[in-house]
Structure 1
Amino acid sequence: MLTLGGVAAAEPAAAVSAPSPQASTHVVDRWARHILRAMPLEQKVGQLFVADVWGKSADEVHPGNQRKYGVDTPAEVVRRYHVGGVIFFNHSGTDNVDSPTQLARLSNGLQRAALSARPHIPLIVSIDQEGGRVTRIADQATEYPSAMALGAGRSADNARTAAEINGNELRAMGVNQNFAPVADVNSNPLNPIIGSRSFSADPGLAGELVAAQVRGLQGGGRPTETVSASAKHFPGHGDAAADSHVELPEIKRTEEEWRRIDLPPFEAAIAAGIDSIMTAHITVPSLDPSGNPATLSKPIMTGILREELGYDGVVVTDSLQMQGVREMHPDSEIPVLALEAGVDQMLMPPDLDVAINGVLDAVRSGRLSEERIDQSVLRVLKLKWKRGILVKPLASERSVPRHVGTAEHRATIQRITDRAPTVLRNDAGVLPATNPGKVLVTGWNRPEYPGYPADPVAALATHLGRSATALPTGTSPSGAAIERAVAAAKESDLVVVLTNNLRTGASQRNLLTALLGTGKPVVAVAVQEPYDPGYVDAPTWVATYDWRAVSMAALAKVLTGAAAPQGKLPVTVPDGTDPGTVRYPFGHGLSW
């Protein structure tokens, strides 16, 4: 007997053969129901959870697994809980990523752990590989521009191509689900968590590019070469002024406003055949006055998503470790409420034992029926069939270098990214700087930590050539750092200063103002959200929408005249002190 979270589970029944991805829906439904009858309740409930694990190999002993799960290795987590999926990260907490081949080896090890149980049901292996700042694997793999950079490029074909390359590379690494694209419409410039992760503030443009990326991720080859897409965060996180990681944001739109602004990209995703939709930990009183986060709202998840929109794919929560979903209910109650609302899978509960046993207790008490559990398990099983995970759960580790980070992929993504840089202002005619002389590149850079590349200041200086000097000043430059930058600027012919979040970055504003005061030609570049030009009145402003090396290469071409700027603002940039005043309108962008 296996003990699952302190509950004894019956030995599972014999395995049955999985249908091919080309099988009819009738055959798949019959197979899935046969599998369901072979699964004890504990195994069914396990399929409804997606776990984060510690370690870069399936058998790596890591104290993080012991702290959270009471076992040593990622493989033991999978075997103990029969989870339906795992998710990989590249941060210091649960760092799973080293290289593409290593990631394939980790995925394969966890799949073998899942397949060691009977019935043999492989895992959904997930990652957040959105592009831009939300990139989980960049080293040796192709890196992608942010969604908003694609929005600036205004090409659905390019958005689809980028997603197709992304999906093919992920599947080659053993990942079969990408929690992307972001379908939120970033209509609030003060949004602290979405921003450039969104394609646009325009629902039509956002919906067009969301649909394109869904088709690229899910349709870029045979099912065994593609990944499940997951549109997020329903019903729309774009108007939030708070971060749901740390609190429960309230969306104050009327229902009519929500239908006009936030709904269209999700409708587009559903029309494109999206495999799954991720929920938002936000409250929307006009849709559900209960105060519950949307993740736990039956009027939103069942009433709107299931019944009105007719969506019958997998609905997965955003991370249940986030405070936005934990403010009103205990951790044992949240998965039960999510299932009652119409959700299928629970992502990263803070205590998996508590979460699973909460669901088991609800079934045994009669609060949840086993038929309700079966309904969600069937959706999960059908997703695994649809994406070819059942017949090809393992990746070829030896072939990873032939498919991931190839010269062809990198060149294609660079070509796509080259359309993004948007020149908002060029009053002094500084651009293009075809013969810039001595160039100082300074300003914002992020401290390095696992999973992130070297700073964009250095990357841009490298692309500009030997006449450029890099002088990064960090996220909050000190007075001494500003003085050093000013002194270096006085010895230069052109200054390029990178900014990120001038709204809250007073010291960054001071740096830019001081550099403008030198009298030298200054090019200010917003390297993440394009709202920075509303806070400092520089005569030359450019927006890149993210700071990764691929975007810095595109920026260098525009600055030097090697390429004409093509980007058009996918949002409206207001005045930072007077939000009612538009500094740069939607669609604005200069060229030459």
Structure 2
Amino acid sequence: MRTSRCAALLAAAAVVLPLAGCDTGGSGGATSGTSAAPTPSPWIAGYLRDMSLREKVGQLFVPAFSTPAAARAMVRRYDVGGLIYFPRNMKSPAATAALSNDLQKAARTPLLLSVDEEQGIVSRAPFLTDFPGNMALGAGRSTTNAREAARVTASELRAVGINQNYAPDADVNINPANPVIGVRSFGADPKAVASLVGASVAGYQDAGVAATAKHFPGHGDTNVDSHTGLPVIRHSTTQWNRIDAPPFRAAIGAGVDAIMSAHIVVPRLDRSGKPSTLSSGVLTGMLRGRLGFQGVIITDSLLMAGVREKYGDASVPVRAIQAGADQLLMPPSLPKAFDAVLKAVQKGTISRKRLDESVTRILRLKERRGLFKGLTADPRKAQAAMRTAAHRRVATTVAEHSITLVRNDGGTLPLRRRAAFVTGPGSGPLRTALRAQGVRVVGSARMADVTVVTVFNGRPVIPGGKPAVVVALARPYALNDAGRAKAAVAAYSASGVSVKAVARVLSGKLGPTGKLPVKAAGKPIGHGLTYAAPSSP
């Protein structure tokens, strides 16, 4: 990093801001705060003036990488502002921590090392404590649990040198057919989603990791996946204010460092017909103007079809910056995208002032997260920071609070002293977990008193003859097709911690307390039955 440059700037600024940044200080890298738009530290203006045009343009990019050598080459040639990690880049906690340190050492300006770690079905780091995901938190309705889950995840990410997470998902999932959000959302109630988003932002940033609320202006009411097509959401301004905006307002109120744009068209909010990522009406008019967000706006992946259908790969990054984005995630070709933005600035298509605004916001975020302090990860301690007993207890609490008993005709549950045949996709772990809870699991429906049927996202296959219990291990909407079952349970997740919680509920060792965060099985949001668990195991 630029230690000599930092030292000179600090000396000049010391009268007004002692230890304002660089390798000898910083501004609260480990706290969330409430300032999405703080006054830039005096040293940042000097740092910006000392950057070349190429260095400034490089700060706008967050590419993926295949190998450490490829990452170092991008850092050195393009001065990228950050890099995104995927499982291929995270072989072990120690190796990831060492890689993070190596990349930071190669960078002239500290890097935002990011990951898309929502937990649940979007989980990239294979060594983290396993959590069920957002909709399970929505069923548990606890802001304390949401904040703690985010804090645990962030502390483990920080231990391997990752300092930005593309979470939480702030979409309000009101469309059961939504193919891309679903259980990634906290639910369908805007007020409840907003409270959990705010808590999650605080949890991530309490642990020193930049949170990123997504996908603005709201991706919860579509039946098209923006990875493969361009969704159109026809919410009016009134609907948007009531449904989609509250979670983003909550994130901003919690001091969220960044917000990610969605590759969706919102014709009743913006008449341009452009994807929101490329729309100044959405990014500058709505997010900056109407909601007052002054932090970093990052695009969703530029590899996705939703932003590539109409415009070429050289045009998209230029249009995104013109629209108000600050960082460009995963350009299909970094050389092509970099050259396009550089030429646009040189020609005045993107003004120098506009470029400096984005780079200032990026530097300010890096300062808030303590990146100019020269912080490093400790590869020797990284493994010990993962999946600690305390962290696993938080995950267990989240899972156990989420299990929702949606229907229980005739007291079919719990399964005390009754034989159960367990079938369906992914049912093996549930069979094992039920046996561990003392349930007699048998090999055929003919031998059973009750059939337990697992389902992910399709229709449950319910055999006749015996009372059936349907357990939704993913989207609770699958219970809409469970009408023949005597009992229905929503778990929102097939993670190991959720399956164990389901087994405890089915066995009667744990009384269900979750409430539906979406409409399902003909029941409203907030519905959930219970029964008493025994006072002792």
TM-score normalized by the length of structure 2 = 0.90
Distance between the aligned counterparts of 1:295 and 1:423, measured in 2? Answer: 40
Partner of residue 259 from structure 2, selected from 274, 277, 300:
277
Could you tell me how far apart the structure 1 residues matched to 2:182 and 2:41 are?
40
5 Å-filtered alignment, 1:181-330, equals 181-220=168-207, 226-330=208-312
Could you say which residue in structure 1 is the equivalent of 2:454? 498
Give the secondary structure class of the aligned counterpart of 1:463: helix
Q: 2:73 pairs with 61, 71, 76, which one?
A: 76
Q: What residue number does 2:535 align with?
A: none
CA contact (8 A) 2:405 2:490 kept: yes
Which amino acid in structure 1 is aligned with residue 113 of structure 2?
A: V
Of 19-28 and 411-420, deviating more is 19-28
Structure 1 residue 156 and structure 2 residue 143: aligned?
yes
Match of 2:109 in 1: 121
Does 1:542 find its partner at 2:489?
Answer: yes
After the TM superposition, which residues 12-91 of structure 1 pair with which residues of structure 2 at under 5 Å, given as runs? Answer: 15-17=5-7, 18-19=21-22, 20-22=25-27, 29-55=41-67, 58-59=68-69, 73-90=70-87
Conserved 8 A contact 1:523-1:540:
yes
Question: Identity across aligned pairs (percent)?
Answer: 46
Q: How big is the shift at 1:469?
A: 9.4
Number of equivalenced pairs: 506
Counterpart residue type for residue 54 of structure 1: S
AA at the equivalent of 2:411: G
Give the corresponding residue for 2:469.
523
Query: Partner of 1:496: helix, strand, or coil?
Result: strand
Which of the numbers 143, 156, 164 marks the counterpart of 1:177? 164
Alpha-carbon distance, 1:552 to partner: 0.6
Encode CA deviations 1:500-541: one digit per residue, 9 max, x unaligned.
112xxxxx54xx13x2x1x22321111111101112312211
Decide which moves more: 371-380 or 533-542.
Answer: 533-542
How far the C-alpha of 1:13 sits from its partner, in A, is 11
2:516 aligns with 569
Q: What code does the residue aligned with 2:447 have? A: E
Structure-1 separation of matches of 2:422 and 2:106 = 50
Unaligned runs of 5+ in 2: 8-20, 29-34, 532-537
Is the contact between residue 13 and residue 38 of structure 1 (CA under 8 Å) also seen in structure 2?
Answer: no
> Quick check: 2:65–2:83 contact (8 Å CA) kept in 1?
yes
Q: Residues 401-550 of structure 1: matches in 2 within 5 Å?
A: 401-437=383-419, 439-445=420-426, 457-465=427-435, 488-502=444-458, 508-509=459-460, 512-513=461-462, 515=463, 517=464, 519-537=465-483, 538-550=485-497
Paired position in structure 2 for 1:591: 530
Q: Offset of 1:99 from its aligned partner?
A: 2.1
Distance (whole Å) between structure 1 residues aligned to residue 138 and residue 337 of structure 2: 39
Q: What RMSD in Å do the two structures reach over aligned CA positions?
A: 2.1
Query: What amino acid is aligned across from residue 501 of structure 1 in structure 2?
Result: N
Q: Distance in 2 between matches of 1:288 and 1:106?
A: 42
Say yes or no: does 1:342 pair with 2:315: no
Shift of 1:106: 2.0
TM-score of the aligned structures, taking structure 1 as reference length: 0.82
C-alpha distance after superposition, 1:14-61 (max 9, x if no partner)? 531434233899995321121112211111111100010113xx24xx
Give the letter aligned to residue 112 of structure 1.
K
Task: Give the match's secondary structure for 1:419.
Answer: helix
The answer to whether the 8 Å contact 1:441/1:468 transfers is no
**Uncovered stretches (5+) of structure 1, i.e. residues with no partner:** 1-11, 60-72, 115-119, 221-225, 446-456, 472-486, 503-507, 575-582
**Distance change (3 Å), C-alpha of 1:499 and 1:378:** same
Q: Is the 8 A contact 1:111 1:393 kept in 2?
A: no
Alpha-carbon contact 1:49-1:345 (below 8 Å) kept: yes
Instruction: Tell me the amino acid that sits aligned with residue 533 of structure 1.
Output: L
What code does the residue aligned with 2:166 have?
A: F
Check whether the contact 1:441–1:469 (CA below 8 A) recurs between aligned residues.
Answer: no
1:351-374: CA deviation from partner (whole Å, max 9, x where unpaired): 111111111111111111122111
Runs of 4+ in 1 over 3 A off after TM superposition: 22-28, 466-471, 491-494
Relative distance call for 1:276 and 1:470 in structure 2 (3 A) is farther
Deviations 1:385-439 (A, max 9, x none): 10011214421111113322101110122022110010111113221112233x3
Distance 1:458 1:470, change over 3 A: farther
CA distance in 1, matches of 2:339, 2:518: 45
